Structure 1
Amino acid sequence: MPTSRHTLAQLCAAVAAALPVLLAAPAAVAAPQVPPPSTAVGGERLGLPGVQVNPLAGAPALPTDLTGQSWIVSDAASGEVLAAYNPHLRLPPASTLKILFADTVLPKFDRNAVHRVADREIQNIGAGSSLVGIKENLDYRVEDLWRGVFLSSGNDAVHVLSFMNGGIQPTVDEMQARAEALQARDTRVISPDGYDMDGQVSSAYDLSLFARSGLRNPDFRMYCATRDAMFPGAVDKNTGKRGSFGIANTDRLLGKYPGLIGVKNGTTTNAGSTFVGAAERNGRTLLVTVMHPASYQRVYDETAELLDWGFAAAGKVRPVGRLVDEKSADGQEPTGQEPTGQASGTTGAPAPPPHASATATPPAAAKAGDDWLGLVGGWSAVAAGAVVGTAAVVLFRRRTSDRTWNRFHG
C-alpha cells in the first residue's frame, strides 16, 4: 500500500504527463470569466472599501476631516444612500444596539401599562453600565421604562423590559430575527443593551436600517426626541410618598442641531463612540451613522458635518446604494433594492468620484496563474481540472489541518 506521499507524487506525475496533451486540445468553449465580487446588501458599491459618492455638477465636497472608521448618509424616506465610507464594516455597536431593541420590543406593550420590578430583573447587569436608577419591588409605567432606555441609555431599563418580554435570551433571539427580517446581515446580537460582549457587532448600514424602521413608530420617534423627563424614584420612608428625579437625554446634538429628531448615541471601552442621528429639513429626513471616530466629541461633530453635507447635496448626487426594505411576511426579499450606484432610469457605469479619496480600490485582479484553465477547451479543461483538483485537495488537507478561522469575515 503506497503512502499518501507516494500517492501525491504519482498524482503530480500524472498531471505533468497529461498537461501537454490537454493544453494542445482545441478550445471548444470560451474561457471562463473571473466572477465579480458578491454584491453587498444595498448595492455593490457599498461593499467596496473607501469613500463612495457620485457627485453631479454643483455638488458640495464631502468634509475632509472625518475620522470615523465607518459612516453612511441616507435618505430616510427613499432609502437612497447619498455617500458612505466602509458602511458594512462590522464593529461593536455599544448602546446604539438599543435602537434594534426598541424596534423589536416597543410595539409589544401598552405604554400606560404598569409593571412591578422583581429583584432578579435588575441583577447581572454588566459592570460600569449606564443606569437610570430602577429599584426592585416598585411599580413603573412602560413609558417610564422607555424614557430610561432612550434618555439615560439605562441598561437596567432594558433588562426589565427584556424580562417583561420573556427573558434576556428570548429577547436576544427576537432581536436577531428582527435584524434578519430587516436584512441587517452584519449584526450579531449577544446582549439586548449593547454592552460589550465578545462577538457582538453591527455596522453603520445596519444601524441605519434599524433607525429607519424605528422612526416609523410614533412612540419610538417621541422617545428619541425627548430631551428631559421626570423619572419615578424611591418611596420616602417618613412620608410614604414616592419621589421622582430628572433625567436628560445624553444625545449632545438634540436641541442644538437644527431639525434633529434623535436617534441614539453609544459609548463603551471596546466600541468607542457611535451615533445614529436623524434630522429633518424642508420636508426631507436624513439619517447619518458614524462609528468609531477619533474621540467622543468627534462622533457628534462628524454627524453634524455629514448632515449639513447631505442636505446641501440632496438632488446633486446620484445614490451609491440603498437602504433595503424589510422582507415580506412570506420571507421573500424585495426586488430592485440593490442598485449599483447609477441614478434611476440611467444606464452604464456610475460616474467616477471627482477626487482620489472618493475612489474605491477595485477588487484585486486574479493572478495570471489562476487563469490557466481558460486556455483549455471543453472536456479537456474539465479533465485537467479534475486531476489538478485531486492533487490540490490532498495538499490543502495536509497543510491546513491545524488552521483556525476568524468567527467573522468582511
Structure 2
Amino acid sequence: MAVSLSSAGTPWQEPPPGVSTVGGERLGQPGVQLAPSAGAPALPTGLTGQSWLVADAASGEVLAANNAHLRLPPASTLKMLFADTVLPKFDKNTVHRVTDAELAGLGAGSSLVGVKENLDYRVEDLWRGVFLASGNDAVRVLAHMNGGIPQTVAQMQARAQALGALDTKVITPDGYDTDGQLTSAYDLTLFARSGLRNPDFRAYCATRTAQFPGAVDKTTGQRGSFGIANTDRLLGKYPGLVGVKNGYTTNAGATFTGAAERGGRALLVTVMHPTGLQQVYDETAALLDWGFTAAGKVTPVGRLADPPPLPAASAGGAGSTPAAEPPKAAPVEQLSAAREQGEVGWAGWLAAGLCLAAVAAAVHGVRRRPAR
C-alpha cells in the first residue's frame, strides 16, 4: 500500500513552477514517497533532511524519497558533476604550473587544499585536493586547464542535461554559495552514479588520506608535502562505504551523497539540508541501513535515469588523452564468483549493459577508524 507522508521536522517548500517528474510522477510530489510491502521495515525516525533519496545503484530503482526534486543549494556536492564532466579529459600524470590568474576570484571562506601559484602540480594531486579537501583552489586550476570557468560551467550544465538532471543550475564549478545555483537530491544521485563508472573517480572518492605537494624549501631547494584527509565523515566508519562527496556552506547547510555495498547490493543515498552537519552523516547512515533491509520489500516509487556514455576526451587540449572505454558488463556468473572471492568491492553493476566495476583496490585493506 502506497503512503505519502509529510517531511519529519521540516515543512515542505513549494517547488518552482514545472517541478520535474523525471524518474516518475511520485518523485515530483511533496513529502515522503514510500510503497511498502508486507514485512517492510519502517523508515528511520527523526529524519530532518529537507530532501533525501534512497536508490539501488544497479537497477536505478528509487526505494524511497522525500521531496526528491526540491531545488536547494548544493555546496560541494556539485563537485561530483564537475569531476564527472572534467576528470576524463586529462591524463592523471600531466604536470601543470599554476598561475596567479587561476587562483583569482576565490570566494571568502572557500575551502582550500593549499594550491600555490608558480608551482607545478600533477593532475592527480589536484583531483585529490578536490575530493579529499574539497579544495575550490584545485577546482579552479582544473577548470582553467579545461578552457576557463565559463566553458567549464557550460559543459557541466550540458552534462547535467544529458544525465537527466533537470533541477540543476550551474553557476560555479565548485558549488560555492551563489544566488541561483541549485540542484536536488535526485540530481546529485545521478551525478554520483555516473561518476562512479570512472575508476579514477572511484579511487579518489575512496581515498582517506594523501600527501599533497607543498612549497619549496628556500634553504634546501627541496619541495615538501603535507597530509590531507578526506572530509567525508562516513568513509572508514560506515561498513562498505565507497564515497562519494560531502558539502557544507552557511547558505546550503550540509549536503551528502554516499554509496555503499553490502551483501552483493549497492545503494546510493543523498541527504540535503538536515538540521546540522553531523545529522547529514547520521541520516545517510540510517537510510543506508534501512535501504539494505528494505530492498525487495518495497515497491520502487521511481527510477534514476540511466547515464549516457562517459564524456569523450577533449580534442587537442593540453595534456589530454583519449578517454578510456567504459567497462563492459561481465556475465552475472563471473560477477557472482568474483564477489564471493572478495574481488568485487562495489556491487553496482547496472542493468541494460552498464557496469560499475570494482573499487576493491581503493577500499579493501583499509583499517577502519572513528570519523573526525
Match of 1:294 in 2: 275
Q: Which residue matches 1:285?
A: 266
Separation (CA, whole Å) in 2 of partners of 1:129 and 1:328: 32
Identity of aligned residues (%): 78
Q: Which residue of 2 aligns with 1:250?
A: 231
Aligned-partner Cα distance in 1 for 2:147–2:309:
26
SS in 1 for 2:82: helix
What aligned pairs does 1:198-213 form with structure 2 within 5 A after superposition?
Answer: 198-213=179-194
1:90 aligns with 2:64: no
> 1:326, CA displacement in angstroms?
3.2
Shift of 1:92: 0.1
Instruction: Please identify which structure carries the higher helix content.
Output: 1
1:45 correspondence with 2:26: yes
Tell me the amino acid that sits aligned with residue 249 of structure 1: N
Q: Is the 8 A contact 2:28 2:68 kept in 1?
A: yes
Residue in 1 that maps onto 2:290: 309
Judged with a 3 Å threshold, the aligned counterparts in structure 2 of structure 1 residues 191 and 266 are, in CA distance, closer, same or farther, namely same
SS at match of 1:63: coil
Deviation at 1:328, TM superposition (A): 7.4
Which of 220, 226, 229 does residue 210 from structure 2 map onto? 229
Check whether the contact 1:183–1:327 (CA below 8 A) recurs between aligned residues.
no
CA offsets, 1:344-391, max 9 Å, x none? xxxxxxxxxxxxxxxxxxxxxxxxxxxxxxxxxxxxxxxxxxxxxxxx
In the TM superposition, 1:233-382 aligns within 5 A as 233-326=214-307
Structure 1 residue 39, shift from structure 2 partner: 6.9
Deviations 1:281-328 (A, max 9, x none): 111110000000001110000000000000000111110000012357
Q: TM-score scaled to structure 1, two decimals?
A: 0.70
Per-residue CA deviation, residues 210-255 of structure 1 (Å, 9 max, x unaligned), is: 0000000000000000000000000000000000000000000000
Q: Which amino acid aligns with 2:245?
A: K
Q: Which amino acid aligns with 1:145?
A: L
Partners in 2 of 1:327 and 1:180 — Cα distance?
11
- Cα deviation for residue 64 of structure 1 reads 1.5
- 2:97 maps to 116
AA in 2 matched with 1:142: V
- 1:140 corresponds to which of 106, 121, 130: 121
User: What RMSD, in angstroms, separates the aligned Cα atoms of the two structures?
Assistant: 1.2
- Name the CA distance, whole Å, in 2 between partners of 1:283 and 1:115: 40
- Per the alignment, residue 324 of structure 2 pairs with none
Q: Secondary structure at the match of 1:160?
A: helix
CA distance in 2, matches of 1:43, 1:313: 20
What amino acid is aligned across from residue 166 of structure 2 in structure 1?
Answer: R
Q: Partners of 1:186 and 1:39 in 2: how far apart?
A: 7
Flag the structure with more relative contact order, 1 or 2, with Cα contacts below 8 A and sequence separation at least 6.
1
* Equivalent residue letter for 2:242: I
Whether contact under 8 Å (1:38, 1:44) holds in the other structure is no
- Which of these residues, 132, 135, 139, is aligned with residue 158 of structure 1? 139
User: Structure 1 residues 279, 328: closer, same or farther in 2, change over 3 A?
Assistant: closer
Aligned 8 A contact 2:20 2:69 in 1: no
Query: Structure 1 pair 240/39, CA: closer, same or farther in 2 (3 Å)?
Result: closer
The 2-side partners of 1:39 and 1:194 are apart by: 21
Distance (whole Å) between structure 1 residues aligned to residue 164 and residue 173 of structure 2? 18
Whichever residue aligns with residue 140 of structure 2, its letter is H
The answer for the alignment partner of 2:325 in structure 1 is: none
**Structure ID, larger Rg:** 1
Instruction: Check whether the contact 1:251–1:264 (CA below 8 A) recurs between aligned residues.
Output: yes
Pairing 1:175–2:156 present: yes
User: How far, CA to CA, are the matches of 2:272 and 2:217 in structure 1?
Assistant: 43
What TM-score comes out, normalization by structure 2 length? Answer: 0.78
Distance (Å, rounded) in 2 between the aligned partners of 1:39 and 1:203:
10
CA distance in 2, matches of 1:80, 1:246: 39
Runs of 4+ aligned structure 1 residues displaced above 6 Å come to none
Contact 1:132 1:153 in 2 (8 A): yes
